[in-house]
Each structure stands twice: as C-alpha cells, then as structure tokens.
C-alpha cells in the first residue's frame, strides 16, 4: 500500500450528506435551496430541479419550497461577498440545461463564502480603515477573486457553465429573426401590432437577453418565444415579463397574421443574404460552427422563398 509523504500537506476530502435538494427549476428556487443548506446545516450531494432529479441509491430527497425572501438574502450575500460577476454566474447556472448546474452553483457559493472566512487581516495595510476588519464583513480585496480561481473544482464547473450560457446568449442576439404581425382586436375594432420571433436555444436564456432587445426595439412591442423550454418573453412597450406556455399549445397559433408586406421583406432579406455571399469561399463546416444548425429552421435567409415570389428559371 502506498504511504503518503509526511512532509506533504494532507487535505481531507469534502464530506457531503446523502441528501438531494429538489427545487422548482427557477433562480429563486435555486437560491432558496442554497439558503436551506445553510439553515439546516447540511451539505447536499445534489441540488437539482424536480424535473431532472434522479436520486442515487440510498439518497434522501428533500423538496425545497421557493421562498422569495430567502432567495433575495442569498443573492444579496453573494453580491456583497463575491461581487457582481459571481452573482451573475449563479443566475446563469439557473438557466442552464446541464443536470449538475444547480449543484455547481451551490458548491461555488459554499466555497466562496468559506474563502471569505479564511482571510487574514493582520498584515493588510488597510486594516485600520477597512469596514470589514476583524471578520465583520467581506474583504474588499477578495471580493472578485472567487470566480477567478478556475483551478478549484468548485469554481471550474460553474465557470464552464457560465461561459456556455454567454455563448448561447450571443447566438440569440445574432440569430433571432422577427416577423411583423398585425391583427384586429375583437370587439374594439383597433389594430394590434407586434414583432414575433421563434427560437430554440439549448438553454433557457430568454430572460437574459430580453433587456438587449428592449434596448434595440425601443417602444415597439415584441414577443420572443422559446419553443424548447415553452417560455415567452413579452414586451408591451413599457416593461417586459415572462409567460410560461407549457400545456397551452403552440403560442404562434394565437397571434395575429403577418402583415401584407412581410413576405416581400423576407424575400428582400434573402436576396441581400445571397448577394453578399461569396461562392468561392463557401465553407459548410465553418458555417455550421458559427451558425449552429439547430437555428436554421427559424432563420429567414435560409428558408425557401414562397412560390409567388420565386423567379422563373430558364
């Protein structure tokens, strides 16, 4: 049997309780589960949404109810102790479809908070004027370091999830295509206009990109419908909110019809796309890398032109 070197420092492995925390899949539910772990003095093996929970053999399952007050306290604590970037990474983890995203967020928060407790103020030059001296608060010098330590297992997994969500948000900003819809409101006789986009991302990132499109479209109402996660971001010209469409069928069937000029505008966009392409530099593999194929069915420029707008071929 191999014998450890007595001069090598020994670090004991982290001990987890054989319990899984199940939450409702929302950011508030995840933060409530993190709060419950501290409140119950437990270290759960898994923190997973109820819809994806697969208990291990002999593992106890604890259903954690969502508590908005507890969620707000945890988010404020993470921001105060670890900085805005760390809190944003936890938010991104709540939008991920990775089965271990909730567990990664919990273990990161646990690690980041423990690191704050291990700080040494004795040799700090600012200890006399620091508001956090003597362990009374988070150290300003260590606030942004938690998410930077990507060599630590508790940070590395959340960092990868956060980077994946950033990439998916960028894809959404690039590949969302809106349709102009207009219809008559029943009874009032007034017309309703809205811009509608259908998307199918691999993570529930609609809440993370709504502010971007609100800034771009201004006061124009629009709807971004995530058909994979059955979630719609609705902007009425003043404020935006999320609508869960699970069990309500296809949202597009309840919307107004496209405007009379919508087909012409779509064809104009397809013509522009064809005109700027360089056939000699066509690279299908590189195209699929930068424009994932799962987005193609909702991209106007890659759709077939209607028969009424096709040019006759000689």
Question: What's the pLDDT tens digit per position in 217-243?
Answer: 888 999 999 989 989 999 988 899 999
- Provide the pLDDT for residue 240: 94
Residue 10: predicted pLDDT: 40
pLDDT band at residue 260 using 50, 70 and 90 as cut-offs: confident
Confidence at residue 11, expressed as pLDDT on a 0 to 100 scale: 43
- Using CA atoms, how far apart are residues 251 and 233, in angstroms rounded to an integer? 12
Q: Report the pLDDT averaged over residues 3-24.
A: 64
> pLDDT value at position 142?
61
> Mean pLDDT for the chain?
83
What pLDDT, on the 0 to 100 scale, is given for residue 2?
40
* pLDDT bucket at 284, cuts 50 / 70 / 90: confident
* Mean pLDDT value across residues 16-35: 92
pLDDT in tens, 78-110: 988 888 889 999 999 999 999 999 999 999 999
Q: Is 36 exposed, middle or buried (0-12, 13-18, 19+ CB in 10 A)?
A: buried
186 has a pLDDT exceeding 90: no
Count of all residues that appear for the chain in the document = 314
pLDDT at 137 over 50: yes
Domain boundaries, the chain: 17-118+136-170, 176-302
User: Average pLDDT, stretch 134-139?
Assistant: 58
3-class secondary structure per residue, 127-165: CCCCCCHHHCCCCHHHCCCHHHCCCCHHHHHHHHHHHHH
Mean pLDDT, range 256-262, rounded to an integer? 84
Stretch 119-143: mean pLDDT? 61
Mean pLDDT in residue range 293-303: 87
Q: In this model, does residue 5 exceed pLDDT 50?
A: no
Return d(Cα 193, Cα 220) in angstroms, integer: 9
Strand order in the sheet with 44-49: 44-49, 17-23, 60-63
The verdict on pTM exceeding 0.85 is no
- Counting DSSP H helices and E strands in the chain, the numbers are 8, 9
Instruction: Check pLDDT > 60 for residue 314.
Output: no
User: ∠33-39-45 over CA atoms, to 5°?
Assistant: 50
Nearest to 300 by CA among 161, 175, 150: 175
- Give the per-residue pLDDT at 300: 87
Provide the pairing of β-strand 17-23 with 44-49.
parallel
């Amino acid at each position: 049997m191999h014998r450890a070197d007595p001069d090598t420092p020994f670090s004991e492995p982290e001990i987890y309780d054989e319990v899984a925390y199940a939450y409702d899949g929302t950011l508030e539910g995840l933060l409530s589960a993190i709060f419950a772990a501290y409140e119950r003095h437990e270290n759960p093996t898994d923190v997973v949404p109820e819809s994806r929970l697969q208990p291990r053999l002999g593992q106890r399952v604890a259903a954690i109810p969502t508590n908005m007050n507890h969620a707000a306290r945890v988010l404020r604590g993470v921001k105060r102790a670890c900085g805005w970037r760390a809190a944003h990474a936890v938010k991104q983890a709540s939008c991920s479809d990775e089965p271990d995203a909730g567990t990664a967020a919990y273990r990161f928060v646990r690690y980041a908070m423990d690191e704050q407790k291990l700080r040494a103020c004795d040799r700090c030059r600012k200890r006399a004027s620091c508001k956090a001296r003597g362990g009374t608060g988070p150290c300003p010098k260590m606030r942004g370091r938690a998410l930077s330590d990507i060599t630590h297992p508790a940070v590395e997994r959340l960092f990868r999830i956060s980077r994946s969500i950033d990439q998916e948000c960028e894809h959404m900003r690039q590949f969302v295509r809106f349709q102009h819809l207009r219809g008559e409101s029943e009874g009032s006789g007034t017309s309703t206009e809205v811009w509608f986009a259908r998307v199918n991302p691999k993570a529930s990132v609609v809440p993370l990109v709504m502010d971007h499109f609100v800034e771009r479209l201004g006061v124009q109402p629009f709807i971004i419908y995530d058909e994979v996660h059955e979630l719609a971001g609705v902007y009425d010209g003043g404020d935006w909110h999320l609508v869960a469409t699970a069990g309500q069928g296809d949202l597009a069937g309840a919307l107004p019809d496209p405007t009379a000029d919508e087909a012409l505008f779509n064809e104009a966009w397809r013509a522009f796309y064809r005109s700027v392409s360089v056939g000699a530099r066509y690279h299908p593999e590189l195209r699929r890398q930068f424009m994932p194929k799962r987005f193609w069915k909702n991209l106007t420029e890659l759709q077939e032109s209607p028969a009424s707008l096709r040019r006759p071929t000689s």
